[in-house]
Structure 1
């Protein structure tokens, strides 16, 4: 294989706004250090300003690896994204998702198993999730969790600084150099005697990295894939250090909609292992089942990734968003009630999680539970007490249903979650050996959206508008995980909020109070929300309102709010 570097670094004046004067996006917030670097790479062009510390990540060899990944896999990625679009057209025309008849032989064959957990991943009873900026990374590594989901996806706003800064955080930790000093002078360092195993989550297939341009061998030019950039930089720089530490390299794979998308990741893993010279099957992946389409292909997804697969995760918030998005225009039967009433105990959500546990354990894979949105408030004991009670009940249900571990978003929730899993697991690292042969889930069960019951209320509309605008504003400022009204909001929960508004508006839904949800009502509710916003110097509320209008009120439904907002504002 050819690993000859094809790029060089040239020093430039740091006062220049950008290496490429035509590049769009917000200025890098870091102060000028006197010099920056220009990346000259004929096939993988970096169009953002690159500082010396970035150049440690954007090495010639790493960029060459990214170019090789794009050469081999960017075309398939485009084909699969086109297949997603066709699938949405089919559903809009009345064709329901289903268990695929052509892959029944995979589901019916009881003999095959996945690779299972790699070293350091056997016990996953509590996983903490969060972004990869230096402060949050240190907090996660000191948290006492078994696993840290190092998130470059929904908990991270993909500013260039966050994307490359997150890579630096991970690289520096694995090379013993991760520290942080806040603007107020507070020093942070990794002090835990035992840190969590890192499972890194790259961006989904639908997202691009607009600050990197790929020039293929035929001369075509395109934005780089966010997935390939995130995976490629982390894997290239850290795979051997992770192996030496006995903990990786491991990945969470988000937003998959089919087993064909899982096969693409498996092909990437196989190529990457060969490229750097490590044993086939060293990589382990956990797939988030967070789309209704993937729920019908869990066996097939495990099968395609079987040499590299550790398990599946019940990504509940994106799953609810997928339900709303997929069936948004199918009529009254598919209208969802207030977001807060769609709990994990409503029948269609319970069917999804029970099928996930059954499928995983049948194949020797971990089943990992999802995120409870409640978070503690150290300034308000009553809020904290309520949050702990809600998290305890949620994690007790997961542990008794057979899950092998779960997610939390705050270090203070780890003891509560661990207690519930300790009560079920004891000294065992997991309960993969617990088969759920009692579970029988049909396609009708997964699609029984009316089973959620509940109503659409005026307060539910107002809550979605307020949460959506406030989260988008936070995201535009570079913060992708935001505590709003004592709940942890990320891109997935914001997607639920705006997609429900779109569905209720276009269905002419009437609230429980008798108010028709039309443009007049929503615009009025938005005005009320805007008047109550906590304005401050440097806020992005005007832009956030504009984004929310586009993704919630326009006739055309954007498949992800982050795609257009990223292209325009980041």
Structure 2
């Protein structure tokens, strides 16, 4: 078996284990496909080894902190605004670095995975920014992880094209591409096709975060700067300011390594976990030299509420997912606090993604999607957000119109202070929605969860299901709600209890009626769904076990 090994400045290609270099290094155990060697160069692997040697241990410490915090919340200790960082919040003098070149106007950002077709469509979309997503919208197959890096490498150099199996050609058609903001995987995820061997000889799977960030930065930072933009990132799943500090140190080291000015990197942090909502200012502070803003990651935020309070009793049970809108009390408090916090510190506040998507074959569905998205974006722009996300090019005009109505010719409204907003810890935790769980809501959760997992197992991380754009975050809501409803003895509005047996019957009905096709993964998806929704233990993330079981492709 050939393996690629690297320590700073070295690469050995050899089937002989005794010829491995000593010292910290990265071992490539995934299969090598076309052009992978252009990304996994000796120098890039050496940079990854440096990143892991310096930061892998701190990453594990931060993940241990997450476990401790979840345990405390589960045992009755609610999160609160931290006493030990009160001086940061009370100091009115500090500001974040703010927008880098090409990020001043973010009124509409399109999100999507980094396969070649979606990359070209995003860059041709007319959006101001493209969130190039290696996280929730990407199924982390080895082909997708490295293929996404190749797509980005080519796109930044304007040398990307693609021909579909049906013969349709895709090329760049616009002279002014959106600014690319890449989202690496969260701290909790690993890359099992790369092994980090530390200075003691201990081996561990590489960090997905450091892998995605490191390869993209190493190959593209200077090219992005030369194009008048810069290496920009979305940071997912953060739960504390200490995790933000870790990212800031990664950025500072990387800038020094590349010989570029401190603060060239810009990051936008998704506030998509409950603990992070209580540390927005601290997160901005720790990243202040590299920070452009915060984003309201609504779907993961709902999932985080359910995950942290799943065992805390009936008062923390949410109704059907469709009834947990952005206007319910806890979501309203969270978004208003985010806008106020951002503008207080000179940061962009970026709105989240409405799940409604158009259907070009069904004008009625498209009209409904545009109506829903327009209302969502009108609310965000009116509340003070500086920009927003959409998941489909056909929604850009509707979203832009709502922000144009508020912004006019201004690039943003960061100067709009929300001094009228005062949000308490109790308001952030006010999850009373006042609606019931229905049989239809239960069936929708089973259907969405299984169908999304089936898509994910085939390597498709963003899937249009029932005219909604589903990704890992929305699937997490579906499966975690079912787990919570079972364990909290919830009944649907017709009085019937939600039990494992009832969910199994719904699952069997789904598998017997869903349209099957050659190569589908519905049986595997049902097995994964049972593991994450129906077992006694609650897996922290649905993708972790499924990744190890189904997506690892070793040489």
Q: Quick check: TM above 0.5? A: yes
Deviation at 1:174, TM superposition (A): 1.6
Deviation at 1:530, TM superposition (A): 1.5
What's the counterpart of residue 146 of structure 2? Answer: 164
1:444 equivalent in alignment to 2:448: no
The structure 1 residue matched to 2:390, chosen from 400, 408, 412, is 408
Q: TM-score, normalised by structure 2?
A: 0.96
Deviation at 1:522, TM superposition (A): 1.2
Separation of aligned partners in 1, 2:358 and 2:187: 33
Is contact 1:9–1:40 with CA below 8 Å preserved after alignment?
no
Separation of aligned partners in 1, 2:107 and 2:82: 32
> Which structure 2 residues correspond to residues 34-113 of structure 1 after superposition, within 5 A?
43-113=25-95
Separation of aligned partners in 2, 1:540 and 1:391: 32
Deviation at 1:5, TM superposition (A): 2.3
What's the counterpart of residue 209 of structure 1? Answer: 191
1:464 equivalent in alignment to 2:445: yes
1:489 equivalent in alignment to 2:470: yes
> Which structure 2 residues correspond to residues 350-499 of structure 1 after superposition, within 5 A?
350-450=332-432, 452-499=433-480
Deviation at 1:538, TM superposition (A): 0.2
Instruction: Label 1:389 to 1:40 Cα distance change in 2 as closer, same or farther (>3 A).
Output: farther
> Which structure 2 residues correspond to residues 253-332 of structure 1 after superposition, within 5 A?
253-332=235-314
1:386-420 CA distance string (max 9 Å, x none): 00000000000000000000000000000000000
Instruction: Label 1:4 to 1:334 Cα distance change in 2 as closer, same or farther (>3 A).
Output: closer
1:275-304 CA distance string (max 9 Å, x none): 010000000000000001000000000000
Is contact 1:20–1:48 with CA below 8 Å preserved after alignment?
no
Separation of aligned partners in 2, 1:410 and 1:301: 30
Separation of aligned partners in 1, 2:62 and 2:513: 42
1:547 equivalent in alignment to 2:528: yes
The structure 2 residue matched to 1:538, chosen from 519, 524, 547, is 519
Deviation at 1:161, TM superposition (A): 0.3
Separation of aligned partners in 2, 1:380 and 1:133: 26
In the alignment of these two chains, the number of paired residues is 544
What's the counterpart of residue 9 of structure 2? Answer: 5
Separation of aligned partners in 2, 1:393 and 1:561: 31
Which stretch has the larger CA shift, 169-178 or 433-442?
169-178
Deviation at 1:524, TM superposition (A): 1.2
DSSP 3-state at the match of 2:528: helix
Is contact 1:127–1:147 with CA below 8 Å preserved after alignment?
yes
Separation of aligned partners in 2, 1:54 and 1:531: 40
Deviation at 1:175, TM superposition (A): 2.1
What's the counterpart of residue 504 of structure 1? Answer: 485
Is contact 2:7–2:25 with CA below 8 Å preserved after alignment?
no
DSSP 3-state at the match of 1:222: strand
Deviation at 1:184, TM superposition (A): 1.4
> Which structure 2 residues correspond to residues 87-236 of structure 1 after superposition, within 5 A?
87-236=69-218
Separation of aligned partners in 1, 2:321 and 2:281: 29
Deviation at 1:9, TM superposition (A): 4.7
1:103-131 CA distance string (max 9 Å, x none): 01011111100000000000000000000
DSSP 3-state at the match of 1:101: coil
Separation of aligned partners in 1, 2:21 and 2:500: 50
Deviation at 1:187, TM superposition (A): 1.0
> Which structure 2 residues correspond to residues 555-570 of structure 1 after superposition, within 5 A?
555-570=536-551
Deviation at 1:40, TM superposition (A): 8.8
Is contact 1:256–1:291 with CA below 8 Å preserved after alignment?
yes
Gaps of 5+ in 1: 11-18, 22-38
Separation of aligned partners in 1, 2:177 and 2:207: 31
Separation of aligned partners in 1, 2:226 and 2:120: 21
DSSP 3-state at the match of 1:128: strand
What's the counterpart of residue 25 of structure 1? Answer: none
Is contact 2:111–2:132 with CA below 8 Å preserved after alignment?
yes
The structure 2 residue matched to 1:524, chosen from 498, 505, 526, is 505
Separation of aligned partners in 1, 2:7 and 2:291: 28
Separation of aligned partners in 2, 1:3 and 1:124: 39
Is contact 1:266–1:304 with CA below 8 Å preserved after alignment?
yes
Deviation at 1:244, TM superposition (A): 0.6
1:152-185 CA distance string (max 9 Å, x none): 0000000000000000000011223211111111
Q: TM-score, normalised by structure 1?
A: 0.94
Deviation at 1:520, TM superposition (A): 1.9
Deviation at 1:552, TM superposition (A): 0.1
Deviation at 1:4, TM superposition (A): 4.9
Separation of aligned partners in 2, 1:7 and 1:185: 39
Instruction: Label 1:301 to 1:20 Cα distance change in 2 as closer, same or farther (>3 A).
Output: farther
1:10-59 CA distance string (max 9 Å, x none): 7xxxxxxxx999xxxxxxxxxxxxxxxxx999720111111341100000
Name the Cα RMSD after superposition.
1.6
DSSP 3-state at the match of 1:435: coil
Separation of aligned partners in 1, 2:501 and 2:251: 51
Separation of aligned partners in 1, 2:184 and 2:462: 16
Deviation at 1:8, TM superposition (A): 3.7
What's the counterpart of residue 30 of structure 1? Answer: none
Separation of aligned partners in 2, 1:56 and 1:562: 28
